[in-house]
Structure 1
């Protein structure tokens, strides 16, 4: 299931993979536009 146009998850391209009673597995595909620190290639430092 792709999040499509639902909020920021859809804009980022987040995909649903699976879930259980107390967990969820999502995927965020690599996108150079999301890089926060170009020197290290890190999305976010926090």
Structure 2
């Protein structure tokens, strides 16, 4: 995967930036989504007790 990414970077720098940004936002979105879910469950749990 690393060699593949290096090849893309050397061939097309804009494409490399686009792909890295895409993966970064995807990771950030999933992290935020799951964090909200966990927070919501914790709040419900503490409210019920």
Give the TM-score taking structure 1 as reference length.
Answer: 0.23
Query: Higher Cα Rg: structure 1 or 2?
Result: 2
Which gives a bigger RCO, structure 1 or 2 (Cα 8 Å, sep 6+)?
Answer: 1
Give the TM-score taking structure 2 as reference length.
Answer: 0.22
| Structure number with higher helix proportion | 2
